[in-house]
């Protein structure tokens, strides 16, 4: 069989090398797996694991943070020992095992399966992105178009995974969300396996290529890397399950990675150091961008589940499916429009430079979160707001992402020396890890609605009060928020057997009351709203609920006030993003100088 040479790969005719299409498909299926699982995490933890919303946000942020933190580890071992090819295969295999582990027993094996998937994603994600940059000669103007196509593949997978995994999980059971993610990863790994020979000399172990060690020693080092990555799984498991350990890890790994890069910079020439400093500026600001942007998997998932209508212009749509897939759909629909705009401006010598584009990304992000803040103005008394406005905010946020993310991937490969591409890509994703971690903390702050100890007793022996109960509650949370009125929910555990949660329906002739029914027409839940937050209330409930022995009682701030907590938080994020945008635009001349002509 004839081996493809590096020159043949890079001297391709046309706009894209054929190898890019293969990487496009492999990454598309891997992103289906990743974003499919991401899209169900927060709701799964709240509804399947009975986790408080604030804790679910923190766990979501921790899981996502470790996914991206592991990309630094994966990038390091690919650069130094395994090479891109073996790293991608190993990472993909672990992601498959992790997905099916959760699917086997979602409630019991969730943390174990997720820990396996975290390590796998760390070996897969940065390395397949790094291969894209190696398909081009230095200075090839087609590189940005290549990353643009690759970015489209990411979003096709994210759209399909975010929509289908949630739909399957919500309709048929959460195990189906994780099964579909595992199947997608099998497809992605198969595509890469069947097309890897087209990559020619790219992606083999650097130990063998450089001849620094014997083949036998190189093999032992690779086996040690595999075993070491398996030993990391229980460590990740411990970190994910314990928030205190998560905080400690985040305080250590970032400074450690920065110190290692500084060490590598001492071995670089002056021009390489200048470019790496510019890359670090992009990396630091990207932390803040993703901290705001990644509310989509945490607090915005909760808003979509509890506070958004189920239609746009009369067309029925599930709000969480919209939350998971609209951003990716908008990227696919409008990325070419923004690309044409940059080209049109370039021909007129008016195209913004890379740094200004980063700043514009923050300004659009600020506008998007102001639209999210406006949701409170479109809500009704029950705290239900417009899915149309919710979706429009995602359109604005997508424009901001298009100004930053695809340009960022390309900039990292241009600004880093070839021997450090894997590490710099790992740092880029490590910045995302810190963004995800902070996103979880921010989301938890917005979700702090109190944890209430509830008691219920007979209200009175008076026949006129039959069916009424006295419900008493006490806020036991550490971070107490002040709420004027409460919702009291009494539900039947045994009767609520539906895979898909039924909607609340208003009860006729009963102001401020709603009920849920199962498919057999049995009342499974009763909610009384607008109860003054005095710590005690008498609530009249139907015998269908009060006569049961399996009832569960919840007291929570009324829906409109819970929504207000989120929208107030989004207004703050809009202000922070606005400040970041103006700062980046202000320092753009300095950063351009550091980039040494890189565009």
CATH 1.20.1250.20 residue window(s) in the chain:
6-447+564-594
- Which residue do the tokens 């937050």 mark? 533
Count of beta carbons in the 10 Å neighbourhood of residue 149: 17
- Whether 28 contacts 156, CB under 8 Å: yes
Q: What is the mean pLDDT of residues 248-271?
A: 82
Centre a 10 Å sphere on the Cβ of residue 256 and count the other Cβ atoms it contains. Answer: 11
Closest CA to 555 of 489, 491, 511, 475: 489
User: 3-class DSSP state for residue 140?
Assistant: coil
Percentage of the chain with pLDDT > 70? 90
Rounded to whole angstroms, how far apart are CA atoms 118 and 70? 7
DSSP 199: G
| Contact between 246 and 239 (Cβ < 8 Å) | yes
In CATH terms, is domain 6-447+564-594 a member of 3.40.50.11690?
A: no
Most confident of 119-128, 292-301, 347-356: 292-301
Q: How far apart are CA 594 and CA 447, in angstroms?
A: 41
pLDDT digits (tens, 9 = 90+) for 185-243: 999 889 888 887 777 777 777 776 655 677 778 788 888 888 988 998 998 898 888 87
Per DSSP bridges, beta strands 485-492 and 315-316 are unpaired
User: Nearest CA to 512 among 491, 534, 488, 533?
Assistant: 488
* H or E element in which residue 459 lies: none
Residue 460 scores a pLDDT above 70:
no
Task: Write down the mean pLDDT value for the chain.
Answer: 82
* Coil vs helix vs strand at 488: strand
| Residue partners of 363: CB distance under 8 A and separation at least 6 | 400, 577, 578, 581, 582
Which residues, including other chains, have CB under 8 Å from residue 499's CB and lie 6 or more apart?
A: 170, 171, 172, 173
pLDDT of residue 394: 93
Cβ–Cβ under 8 Å, residues 393 and 372: yes
Rounded distance between C-alpha atoms, residue 55 and residue 273, angstroms: 41
CA nearest neighbour of 302 among 178, 433, 443, 439: 443
Q: Cα–Cα distance between 360 and 380 in angstroms, integer?
A: 34
Question: Please, which pLDDT band fits residue 67 given cuts at 50, 70 and 90?
Answer: confident
Range of 267-271, 305-309, 471-475 with top mean pLDDT: 305-309
**pLDDT value at position 101?**
93
- The pair phi, psi for residue 504, each rounded to 5°, is -75, 140
Determine the Cα–Cα distance for residues 438 and 247; give it in Å rounded to an integer.
10
């Amino acid at each position: 069989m004839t081996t493809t040479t590096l020159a043949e790969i890079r001297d391709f005719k046309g706009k894209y090398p054929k190898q890019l299409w293969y990487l496009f498909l492999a990454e598309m299926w891997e992103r289906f797996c990743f974003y499919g699982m991401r899209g169900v995490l927060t709701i799964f933890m709240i509804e399947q694991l009975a986790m408080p919303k604030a804790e679910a946000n923190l766990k979501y942020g921790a899981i996502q943070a470790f996914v991206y933190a592991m990309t630094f580890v994966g990038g390091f071992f690919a650069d130094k020992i395994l090479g891109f090819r073996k790293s991608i295969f190993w990472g993909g295999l672990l992601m498959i095992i992790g997905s099916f582990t959760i699917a086997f027993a979602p409630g019991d094996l969730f943390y174990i399966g997720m820990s396996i998937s975290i390590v796998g994603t760390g070996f897969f994600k940065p390395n397949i992105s790094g291969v894209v940059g190696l398909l081009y000669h230095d200075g090839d103007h087609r590189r940005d178009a290549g990353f643009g196509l690759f970015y489209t593949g990411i979003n096709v997978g994210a759209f399909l995974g975010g929509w289908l995994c949630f739909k399957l999980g919500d309709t048929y059971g959460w195990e189906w969300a994780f099964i579909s993610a595992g199947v997608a990863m099998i497809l992605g790994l198969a595509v890469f396996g069947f097309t890897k020979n087209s990559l020619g000399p790219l992606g083999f172990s650097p130990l063998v290529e450089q001849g620094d060690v014997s083949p036998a020693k190189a093999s032992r080092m690779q086996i040690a890397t595999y075993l070491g990555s398996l030993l990391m799984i229980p460590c990740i498991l411990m970190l994910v399950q314990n928030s205190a350990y998560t905080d400690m890890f985040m305080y250590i790994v970032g400074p450690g990675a920065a110190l290692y890069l500084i060490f590598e910079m001492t071995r670089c020439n002056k021009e390489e150091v200048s470019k790496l400093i510019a890359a670090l500026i992009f990396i630091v600001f990207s932390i803040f961008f993703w901290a705001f942007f990644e509310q989509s998997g945490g607090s915005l998932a909760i808003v979509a589940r509890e506070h958004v209508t189920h239609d746009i212009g009369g067309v029925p749509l599930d709000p969480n499916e919209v939350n998971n897939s609209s951003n990716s759909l908008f990227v696919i629909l409008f990325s070419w429009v923004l690309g044409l705009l940059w080209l049109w401006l370039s021909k007129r010598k008016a195209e913004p430079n890379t740094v200004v584009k980063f700043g514009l990304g923050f300004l659009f992000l600020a506008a998007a979160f102001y639209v999210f803040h406006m949701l409170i103005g479109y809500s009704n008394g029950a705290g239900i707001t417009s899915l149309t406005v919710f979706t429009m905010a995602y359109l604005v946020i997508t424009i901001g992402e298009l100004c930053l993310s695809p340009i960022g991937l390309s900039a990292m490969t241009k600004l880093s020396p070839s021997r450090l591409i894997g590490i710099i890509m790992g740092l880029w994703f490590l910045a995302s890890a810190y963004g995800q971690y902070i996103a979880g903390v921010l989301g938890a702050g917005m979700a702090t609605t109190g944890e209430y100890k509830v008691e219920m007793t007979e209200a009175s022996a008076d026949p006129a009060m039959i069916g009424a109960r006295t419900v008493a509650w006490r806020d036991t949370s550490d971070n107490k928020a002040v709420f004027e009125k409460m919702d009291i929910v009494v539900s039947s555990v045994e009767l609520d057997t539906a895979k898909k949660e039924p909607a609340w329906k208003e009860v006729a002739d009963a102001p401020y009351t709603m009920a849920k029914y199962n498919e057999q027409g049995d009342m499974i839940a009763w909610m009384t709203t607008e109860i003054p937050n005095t710590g005690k209330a008498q609530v009249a409930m139907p015998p269908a609920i009060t006569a049961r022995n399996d009832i569960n009682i919840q007291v929570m701030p009324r829906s409109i006030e819970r929504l207000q907590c989120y929208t107030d938080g989004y207004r703050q994020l809009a202000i922070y993003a606005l400040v970041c945008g103006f700062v980046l635009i202000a320092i753009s001349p300095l950063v351009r100088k550091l980039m040494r002509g890189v565009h």
